[in-house]
Chain A
């Protein structure tokens, strides 16, 4: 009896730890995307940005041997992508959806090309990863301690950024302007805000977040690069933004729920449960569709989402 209970606790703690681990990178990408969407730009290019961020992070880590430099390089890669995407989204008056989709294809080709060029036939070299850093005292709390407070530090950074992002978005002038631009750009313009400039910032935030998420994947979770390393996590991040109702704090919860579903699926496969793992894999998407559908209490999206803005 007690052995059984012990197993259950072990299973539970392992499950929670995996959920937190899986939630990290997508949450980081989602935080940036919240800013873009709040300002009215739907950045579907998130997937490709994470991929290029992961690639730059990996290459810099291989060359420099430094995990930290690699992680930062993810953000720098994201920033460069952001400059390109901001020009296309905002200056070329192109459909955000079209640009995002096409950019994802471009990023897939580009990542594979750069990787082939840089690594040649050398096969895969793994790069050193961040070790889990137990926070003193907190990590010794029984139960949650080992789960929440013994993680690689990019996770702590992400958790901190959640609160920073929330504060900036809802309690500063900049955040208010950003939201105004995403709700009604014309009115925002009339009130003296520079719509294009604010939206550019939002796209850059989104791309840096996604790039860092790529760096997070490489430097804290996988330690190498493959073409399919991102495999839909950009779209999961988009789902988190919606399910989290465009709010950083709720996105934290959403990321954890989605991570938990994913982690449960992994453990159930070990136990050969009769529940097909695909049900749990599809759950985040189904929940997001339900939240968006308007059948049961619609989540209200920023009103000017995907609408290009032209100065009169």
Chain B
């Protein structure tokens, strides 16, 4: 390896180098994933064409892509806020599940599986949004507190906490919140508790508005408020921030609360907007895909929206493709992760210079040329 990779004295940092390695990574990911259609008898170009036209070609498809994108946006925003504050929290699956459970519990108010008192219709929305947000904030908060107050390793603790949340939901749907019947799941939520559709006929629900408001709030917070500035400062250099008078622990904790709340709202959108009940296996990796989106958006809240819509669209198009053409939807999963990995791999070229083996001209070849 060291023979044909030569370390650069300093990594290439120019915008051109960055754009080339990122663009090259994305292009390579699409090409490699496209080749994966071939053994299944699919033409990569037709397959991609089908995938994108299903996801973005019709208002119905685009609506579905927005539905898929909604939780991804919220989780990506959560990642942006928490990672900008300098933490490595990755427990968004857990926050998502806890939020979904809290939202279902409120939505089922007045039934044996939910909140014991029936909520009047007028206060339902504020209550369900606030309770879900707080549930997520607390769930992320205890992990954040272990890191910020006690110095625990938040990456590993949050990873473990995900499983605690999975088993918590499993317990809820097979115990206290279980509907009569064979399957471990809650009863179907009453119709009036669902997130209404934005336009009838298209599946997009008002969760997209929650995501949009959250995005605007995050932009405003990070760009125009002292609190956002201090969060970013605490993340960039905690020592300098502390010296500059920033209460680093407090700022990091508020970022964790906000992020946990956002990720919980993603869970709310999934149960109140799509599934309409709580069940085991609800998250299906959405917490990690959301995190990947935040990274691709380079932790920029505005870039989160297009990236999330692209990733949501890939999922919609991928499952339509599997239904109609039999090409495997796993290619979408590969594409989604390969984009990031190849951008990262492209960075090798920013640190190392490629030295292709050049054949040195020997006296023999020179003689041949002359003659």
Contact = CB atoms under 8 A, between A and B. Distances in A.
Q: Is the pairing of A and B real?
A: yes
Interface of A: 42, 44, 87-88, 91-94, 97-99, 101-106, 108-110, 112-113, 116-117, 232, 235, 238-239, 242, 276, 278-279, 281-282, 285-286, 288-289, 292-295, 298, 301, 305-306, 311
Given A276-B175, A292-B156, A293-B146, A94 B333 contact: no
Task: Give the one of A42, A232, A278, A306 with max B CB within 10 A.
Answer: A278
Contacts of B168: 278, 282
B129 to A, nearest CB: 28
Contacts of B288: 101, 104-105
Determine chain B's interface SS by DSSP, over half rule.
Answer: helix
A40 B298 CA distance: 25
Nearest to A294: B150
A238 B163 CA distance: 13
B292 A105 contact: yes
A109 B318 CA distance: 12
A42 B155 contact: yes
Interface of B: 1, 5, 7, 36, 39-40, 88, 90, 146, 150-153, 155-157, 159-161, 163-164, 167-168, 170-171, 174-175, 285, 288-289, 291-292, 295, 328, 330-334, 336-338, 340-341, 344-345, 347-348, 351-352
B7 A285 contact: no
Q: A-side binding surface: helix, strand, loop or mixed? A: helix
Contacts of B152: 292-294, 298
A221 B344 CA distance: 36
Given A116-B328, A294-B150, A306-B155, A105 B167 contact: no
A288 B291 CA distance: 24
Nearest to A306: B155
A97 B90 contact: yes
A293 B39 CA distance: 49
B159 to A, nearest CB: 6
Contact of B341 (A93, A106, A108, A281): A106
Contact of A281 (B167, B338, B352): B167
Contacts, number: 141
Contacts of A286: 160, 164
B341 A292 contact: no
B161 A289 contact: yes
A99 B157 contact: no
B337 A106 contact: yes
Contact of B285 (A88, A91, A105, A239): A105
A232 B167 CA distance: 12
B95 to A, nearest CB: 15
Contact of B164 (A102, A109, A282): A282
B292 A102 contact: yes
Given A109-B331, A292-B153, A88 B171 contact: no
Given A282-B164, A295-B146, A298-B152, A99 B36 contact: no
Contacts of A235: 159-160, 163
Max chain A Cβ within 10 angstroms of own Cβ: one of B160, B174, B336 = B160
Contacts of B337: 102-103, 105-106, 109
B156 A92 contact: no
A109 B332 contact: yes
23 contacts: A88-B345, A91-B348, A91-B352, A92-B344, A94-B347, A97-B155, A98-B344, A102-B292, A106-B338, A109-B330, A109-B331, A110-B330, A117-B39, A239-B160, A276-B174, A278-B168, A281-B170, A282-B164, A292-B156, A293-B152, A293-B157, A295-B150, A306-B155
A285 B344 CA distance: 31
Contacts of A93: 347, 351
Given A102-B292, A109-B336, 4 more contacts: A42-B156, A99-B344, A110-B334, A294-B151
Instruction: Please provide the 10 A-B residue pairs with the shortest distance between their CB atoms, ordered closest to farther.
Output: A109-B333, A294-B150, A106-B337, A109-B334, A112-B330, A278-B171, A278-B167, A105-B337, A282-B167, A94-B344
A105 B336 contact: yes
Given A103-B341, A278-B168, A289-B161, A113 B328 contact: yes
Nearest to B289: A105
Contacts of A295: 146, 150
Q: Which of B167, B175, B288 has the most CB of A within 10 A?
A: B167
Contact of B333 (A105, A281, A298): A105
Contacts of B341: 88, 99, 102-103, 106
